[in-house]
């Protein structure tokens, strides 16, 4: 196994700083969440706010360790996200078991092939599409066959392929592991910023039919929250140009709003509030990573365009 597939996270330059910063942020957000809960300003029950904070802490710790541990751990995490997301997506869209199982196999295959690069991973698109096209023909599914094929194709593109760009960032981008970590924390910062600014100053609905709680003012919070997160962790990326770091917050904010509204549209389509129920405080996994799903490919191609590709 090539040594660059797995690395010791403690040996990554800047790792001690990242760990210390995360601890400070965890403490600060804990105080803020407690204050919001006591003041009943969170818009949700205090117990739900505390559950969200606990879930965020657990995910942040996992995210930090995985991002700094090399390409293979990141590929495994992206595959886990994709497979769990497919289970939620299949249940939400009522996909038959055969379609779901094919998607799960495709998700694992995409995770493996992402270790070889974008060309190998994206080669799965025509292969799985050809297999998918067979199903409504062989099974003579004249009522829902094409509909299931369409949602299955969306699920594969939306989850394994878009999430696979997280692996590509670590594989193909200089300082990829640390940049992936920063992108993920910037997504969390963007969500928190939008929540705080929207709850405090929000007056004008952004997309009332899709997401009634989203406001135009909250968009500024998306950018500010992402910018604060990038600024906090920028010292761990001393070789990355300031201009590139400055471009990350608007990219993250765009992806965060885009991903959140898309998932809202999907849930409205099927008349449900949450994609799942197993993640404390948030509902399903898709409810937590909807922003990240869009940010990863935007970040990957943006960083490549900025000249940070390796080789």
pLDDT tens for each residue of 117-168: 999 999 999 988 888 788 777 765 657 778 888 999 999 999 999 999 999 9
**Tell me, what's the pLDDT at 3?**
42
Answer whether 229's CB lies under 8 Å from 186's CB: yes
pLDDT at 37 over 70: no
Please name which of 171, 178, 170 lies closest in space to residue 9, comparing C-alpha atoms: 178
Judged against a pLDDT cut of 60, whether residue 2 lies above it is answered with no
Nearest C-alpha neighbor of 173 from the set 311, 3, 18: 311
* 176-201 helix and 216-233 helix, angle to the nearest 10 degrees: 140
Task: Using the CB atoms, write b or e for 234-250: b if 16+ within 10 Å.
Answer: bebbeebeeebbebbbe
Rounded to 10 degrees, the C-alpha dihedral 94/99/103/106 comes to: -170
Question: When comparing pLDDT for 29 and 152, which is higher?
Answer: 152
- What per-residue confidence (pLDDT) applies to 134? 80
The rounded distance, in Å, linking the Cα atoms of 101 and 188 is: 31
Mean pLDDT (whole number) for 74-79 = 98
What phi and psi, each to the nearest 5 degrees, are found at residue 214? -80, 135
Q: Is the pLDDT of residue 57 over 60?
A: yes
pLDDT for res 173: 95
90 vs 102: CA distance, rounded Å: 11
Bigger pLDDT: 108 or 210? Answer: 108
Q: What was the pLDDT predicted at 181?
A: 96
**Exposed e or buried b for every residue in 196-216, given b needs 16+ CB within 10 A?**
bbbbeebeeebeeebbeebbe
Percent of the chain whose pLDDT exceeds 90: 53
Cβ-based burial of 3 (10 A; exposed 0-12, middle 13-18, buried ≥19): exposed
Give whole-number Cα distances, 221 to 131, 197, 253, in Å.
Answer: 44, 5, 9
pLDDT of 99 reads 87
> Is the pLDDT higher at 143 or at 233?
233
What contacts 211, CB < 8 A, 6 or more positions away?
260, 261, 264
Which residue from 3, 11, 13, 20 is spatially nearest to 179, judged by alpha carbons? 13
What pLDDT does residue 274 have? 66
Report the alpha-carbon angle 84-5-77, nearest 5. Answer: 10
pLDDT band for position 278 (50/70/90)? low
Is residue 277 very low, low, confident or very high in pLDDT (cuts 50, 70, 90)? low
Looking at per-residue pLDDT, the higher value among 295 and 4 belongs to 295
Q: Where are the alpha helices (DSSP H) in the chain?
A: 15-39, 46-67, 71-93, 97-114, 118-122, 124-138, 145-156, 162-172, 176-201, 216-233, 242-269, 285-305
Query: What would the mean pLDDT of 222-229 be, rounded to a whole number?
Result: 95
Angle at which helix 242-269 crosses helix 285-305, to 10 degrees, equals 140
pLDDT band at 1; cut points 50, 70, 90? very low
81-85, 149-153, 290-294: segment of lowest average pLDDT: 149-153
Question: What mean pLDDT is predicted for residues 81-109?
Answer: 93
- pLDDT for 227 equals 96
């Amino acid at each position: 196994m090539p040594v660059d597939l797995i690395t010791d996270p403690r040996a990554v330059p800047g790792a001690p700083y990242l760990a210390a910063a995360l601890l400070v942020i965890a403490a600060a957000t804990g105080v803020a969440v407690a204050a919001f809960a006591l003041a009943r300003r969170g818009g949700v029950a205090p117990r739900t706010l505390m559950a969200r904070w606990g879930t965020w802490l657990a995910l942040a710790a996992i995210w930090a360790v995985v991002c700094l541990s090399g390409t293979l751990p990141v590929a495994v995490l992206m595959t886990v996200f994709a497979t769990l997301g497919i289970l939620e997506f299949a249940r939400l869209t009522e996909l038959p078991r055969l379609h779901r199982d094919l998607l799960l196999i495709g998700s694992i295959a995409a995770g493996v092939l992402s270790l070889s690069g974008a060309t190998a991973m994206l080669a799965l698109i025509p292969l799985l599409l050809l297999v998918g096209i067979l199903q409504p023909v062989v099974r003579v599914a004249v009522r829902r066959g094409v509909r299931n094929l369409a949602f299955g194709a969306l699920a594969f593109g939306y989850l394994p392929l878009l999430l696979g760009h997280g692996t590509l960032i670590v594989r193909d981008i200089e300082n990829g592991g640390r940049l992936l970590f920063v992108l993920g924390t910037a997504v969390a910062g963007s969500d928190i910023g939008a929540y705080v600014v929207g709850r405090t100053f929000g007056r004008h609905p952004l997309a009332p039919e899709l997401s009634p709680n989203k406001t135009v003012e909250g968009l500024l919070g998306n950018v500010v929250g992402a910018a604060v997160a990038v600024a906090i962790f920028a010292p761990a990326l001393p070789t990355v140009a300031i201009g590139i770091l400055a471009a990350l917050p608007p990219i993250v904010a765009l992806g965060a709003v885009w991903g959140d509204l898309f998932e809202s549209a999907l849930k409205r389509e099927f008349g449900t509030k949450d994609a799942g129920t197993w993640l404390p405080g948030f509902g399903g996994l898709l409810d937590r990573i909807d922003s990240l799903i869009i940010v990863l490919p935007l970040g990957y191609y943006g960083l490549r365009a900025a000249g940070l590709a390796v080789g």
